[in-house]
Structure 1
Amino acid sequence: MQLLSDTDGLVRIGMAVGTWGERWDTDMHGDGGIGNAAAHLLTGIVRQGYRITSMTLGAVVNGSLYLETRDCDQCETAPGTVDNSATLNWSILRGGEHAVLPTAYASHVDGVQAVSVTSRLPLEGPFQLALGAENTVAASSPVQYVWNGWNWDQTILQASAAVELSNVVLSVQVAPVPEPSSYAMVLAGLGVAGWMVRRRRI
């Protein structure tokens, strides 16, 4: 982990999630796919007098998808397929309770795509953050059939898929918890406002 910034109650932490990029090339491996996953458990304590009001988990997904094509006369092609995906999942453990948070997910990525997900579950005191990440890729080759005048010649074309999950950042928004006297002032103000509204209706 690396502290990236700490400004006005917003803390940004760079996370090393432990996954690695994946690639599947049918020229080398034939049709198929592969994936990897990693899991981490982080422990944190929110200092007394403060509360986490929201957390955002974000990352960058870099992917590529390729299906070879060839122009030809009197030919037919059985299409191939390529796909990739990257997933970030997380959950909160506190006081014996387990809260599963929304998942950040991207699939069929050809280029660079940012993903993020936000939890507004308030947190005070000790807690644990379970973080998981997963990359998957798959590819199958197109097959081209060319008529040579007597029969069909078969050519297996190339297909490849790749994906990498990087720049995982956890952004934590922290705010002070009002003192009991502050709550009393807020409630008193609401009472006065209610009384003034009732007075207007008389």
Structure 2
Amino acid sequence: MLKLKTGAALAAALLLAGTAGAATTDGVANGGFESVDAGSHLPTGWVVGDSSPATLSSDAHSGAYSVLLSAPGGFGGSSLLQNSVANGGLPALTAANLGDTPLLSFWTKGDASTTGNAKFALSYMGAGGAVLYDSGLQFFQNNINSSGWTQISFQGAAIPAGTQAVYLLFNTAVGPLLDGRPNAVYIDDVQLTLHTAAVPEPSSYALLLAGLGAVGAIVRRRA
């Protein structure tokens, strides 16, 4: 049995040796907000919305800019969002991403105020904008402060078949401003780590067959 196990392990090793390594890519475009649209002075690839549109800020975790989500007058909201393909201009996801569990991370600081919140949501989109997965709103206002940057991480669910794009939303919403606390949430260095499955090279199949042949020879000698 030892020889049989060794032969099987050899076959597996030969296959892996001839396999192109899995690629790691970022599923979000311009996550550092360093690319800026000259006309709107907003980060390229992102869309802003709600009553108080997000703005660029020079108070950054790294680089020149972060994004400030704020409803400075209270009773409002501020959003930042991206569809990785339609807005970000990234290539569509393929079957090579099937089953991957992307890791979302970003840096944040600020104060959502006494009556406010800060949240994000991650979705996977299929053909025609169909939502194949939605993380739901993930609140993080209790994990940030105005004195320093904090990194937030979130493990996404496995990417289902048919996924073409990822959709990412950041938002703050607030009621009346109380206790002198502002509504101001900064976001920077957003990254969604994607893995593309390793693809066997053509020569791998010949190596695998050779390894399996060796295993078969061992089995025949044992018989």
Query: In structure 1, what is the Cα distance between the partners aligned to 2:75 and 2:84?
Result: 32
How far is 1:160 from its partner? 1.7
RMSD value, Cα:
4.5
Q: Which residue of 1 aligns with 2:118?
A: 85
Query: In structure 2, what is the Cα distance between the partners aligned to 1:141 and 1:102?
Result: 29
Structure-2 change in CA distance of 1:141 and 1:98 (3 Å): closer
Aligned residues: 152
Q: Which residue of 2 aligns with 1:154?
A: none
TM-score, structure 2 as length reference: 0.48
Q: Is the 8 A contact 1:65 1:162 kept in 2?
A: yes
Letter in 2 for 1:40: N
Q: Which residue of 2 aligns with 1:120?
A: 158
Bigger Rg over Cα: 1
Query: In structure 1, what is the Cα distance between the partners aligned to 2:177 and 2:126?
Result: 44
Structure-2 change in CA distance of 1:18 and 1:98 (3 Å): closer
Give the % identical residues.
13
Secondary structure at 1:158 match in 2: coil
1:134 corresponds to 2:170: yes
Secondary structure at 1:63 match in 2: strand
Query: In structure 2, what is the Cα distance between the partners aligned to 1:9 and 1:60?
Result: 24
Q: Which structure shows the bigger proportion of residues in helix conformation?
A: 2
TM-score, structure 1 as length reference: 0.52
1:10 corresponds to 2:24: yes
Structure-2 change in CA distance of 1:130 and 1:110 (3 Å): same
Superposition pairs for residues 46-195 of structure 1, below 5 Å?
Answer: 51-52=96-97, 54=100, 55-65=102-112, 81-94=114-127, 98-103=131-136, 105-108=138-141, 109-111=144-146, 112-115=149-152, 116-121=154-159, 128-140=164-176, 142=178, 158-178=180-200
- After the TM superposition, list the runs of 4 or more consecutive aligned residues in structure 1 that deviate by more than 4 angstroms: 94-98, 178-182
Superposition pairs for residues 2-41 of structure 1, below 5 Å?
Answer: 9-12=23-26, 14-15=30-31, 16-19=45-48, 20=54, 21-25=68-72, 29=73, 32-41=75-84
How far is 1:102 from its partner? 2.7
Query: In structure 1, what is the Cα distance between the partners aligned to 2:110 and 2:157?
Result: 26
Q: Which runs of 5+ in 1 are unaligned?
A: 1-6, 67-80, 143-156, 196-202
